[in-house]
Structure 1
Amino acid sequence: MSTDESASGKGRAVTGTAWAVLLLGLWLWGRDLTEGTGGHAASAAGDVAAVGRPLLQVELPDAHRPVAGVRPRRLDIPSLGISAPVAPRGLDAHGAVDPPPYEQPKVVGWYRDGARPGARGVTLLVGHVDTRSKPAVFYGLSSARPGERVKITGADGSVTEFTVDDVQVFSRDKFDAKKAYGPRKDGRAELRLITCGGTYDHAARSYTANVVVSAYLTGAVQAPAGTATS
């Protein structure tokens, strides 16, 4: 991505035809992400709890105004024990978000043509739930609960903090892409953390659901003085 493209892309939400293509791609994403895996089909067992138990009502902080946003470098969710590098990703040949390769199961993918963390719009982060033999970066994502914090460190050292406000498991046969990935409130900087869920269908070679954790910007710390913005 060129410098000009990078600057103009800050804070931009996906719109029009690109948004429609992305929504379709996100629906397809779960299959592409899990194609050929399933070694830990029980890894999504937490989804049952997420669906069958009402989420606790907690007092959530006010939203922070959107900021310029920079390319993400690292994701931290202390309550879930997640600390992982973030790599920019695009769409694959089928129009689905291209997750990190299986050789990098502990890396989170950022959809680089969407909003940057902290910018107005929806930032999309995707990750594997497992590999053939072990849990991957978003293995415990369905255990997230409203009020928990998500910290993203930018390439320039800046930090944006998000607060989880919703956790949903969408079955593949009743999937509403706009509800899952569209903005929950206009004008906010929002975040979606996405992985596969449900159970692994060996015949279809895919999981039966997607876990979608929604969060919104509640804090921002600028980069240290003299640090170049990326």
Structure 2
Amino acid sequence: MYDDRERDTGTGRLITGLTWTLLLFALWLWGRGLTGVPHGTDGPATGDLFALTPAQAARLPRPAEPLGSALPQRVDIPQLGVQAPVVSRGLDARGAVDPPPFDQPGVVGWYGAGTAPGAKGAALLVGHVDTVTRPAVFYKLSTLKPGNTVRVVRSDGRVAQFTIDDVSVLPRAGFDARQAYGPRRAGRAELRLITCGGTFDRASSSYTANVVVSAYLTGTTR
């Protein structure tokens, strides 16, 4: 589905660069625009929640070979008890990534114009942390730790298994969007789970940071 953007040509690299520029700006707008009533958060407002030592990083599984493109259908996070349907989302009228509606707090949005989970590159999954009345699908996202597992059920019958290697809370002001959402290592199939974090600013009706969970493909099942 996305092979044309990955061709090693000057035009392909230009399109890829423009796509990433628009996407990262859209993610910044998306983070600024989410609203909700906070139910309380634990841990630091910003920073790397679980920094790995070199020895800990060495014990993580080796990356698996990337898969071809296929639509994500469900995301499972065993440590959180999450089993959520995934829907493709685009950009809203402001050019920001359009998350699932607030009346669907248990649904995860996939940026459908980007990388598919399991394919080479960084796939992006976004979800609400809460709504005006209750916690939402990614409410406990910041409690995940390196070594935890995320599974994505795909339309090709495969289940892509990802291992988390980083959990960060990044301030929305002055953060490096490419570092946060772009691929960490060339050639890997990576996954980003993104929601609101930090503290809730009632003046602007938004959170002050984004929780970004980074993971990489370590296996597949059928």
Q: TM-score scaled by structure 2?
A: 0.88
Q: CA 1:219–1:102 in 2, change beyond 3 Å: closer, same or farther?
A: same
**Relative to 1, partners in 2 of residues 1:69 and 1:172: Cα closer, same or farther, differing over 3 Å?**
same
Q: Does 2:141 match 1:141?
A: yes
* Cα distance in 2 between the residues matched to 1:217 and 1:97: 24
**Per-residue CA distance 1:149-204 (angstroms, 9 max, x = gap):** 10000123211000000011001223110110011001100000000001111111
Aligned residue number for residue 182 of structure 2: 182
- Preserved contact between residue 50 and residue 167 of structure 2 (Cα < 8 Å): no
Q: What is the CA–CA distance in structure 2 between the aligned matches of 1:112 and 1:9, rounded to whole Å?
A: 15
**1:74/1:56 Cα in 2 relative to 1: closer, same or farther (>3 Å)?**
same
Taking a change above 3 Å as real, the CA distance of residues 131 and 167 of structure 1, as seen in their structure-2 partners, is same
Q: CA deviation at 1:220?
A: 1.4
Confirm whether residue 46 of structure 1 aligns to residue 46 of structure 2.
no
Letter in 2 for 1:182: G
Letter matched to residue 21 of structure 2: A
SS at match of 2:27: helix
Give the structure 2 partner of residue 130 of structure 1: 130
Alignment of 1:49-198 (within 5 A): 51=47, 54-55=50-51, 57=53, 58=56, 59-198=59-198
Q: Which amino acid aligns with 1:46?
A: D
Task: Flag the 1:106–1:11 CA change in 2: closer, same or farther, 3 A.
Answer: farther
Q: 1:41 touches 1:200 (CA, 8 Å); kept in 2?
A: no
**CA deviation after TM superposition for structure 1 residue 221, in Å:** 2.4
Cα distance, 1:46 vs. partner? 2.9
Contact between 1:198 and 1:209, CA under 8 Å: does it hold in 2?
yes
- What fraction of aligned residue pairs are identical, expressed as a percent? 56
Q: Which runs of 5+ in 1 are unaligned?
A: 1-5, 223-230
Relative distance call for 1:15 and 1:56 in structure 2 (3 A) is same
Q: What RMSD in Å do the two structures reach over aligned CA positions?
A: 2.2
Any unmatched runs of 5+ in structure 2?
A: 8-12
Q: Secondary structure at the match of 1:15?
A: helix
**8 Å CA contact 1:110, 1:126 repeated in 2:** yes
Q: Calculate the TM-score normalised by the size of structure 1.
A: 0.85
SS of aligned partner of 2:76? strand
**Secondary structure at the counterpart of residue 163 of structure 1:** strand
Aligned partners of 2:187 and 2:25: how far apart in 1?
Answer: 24
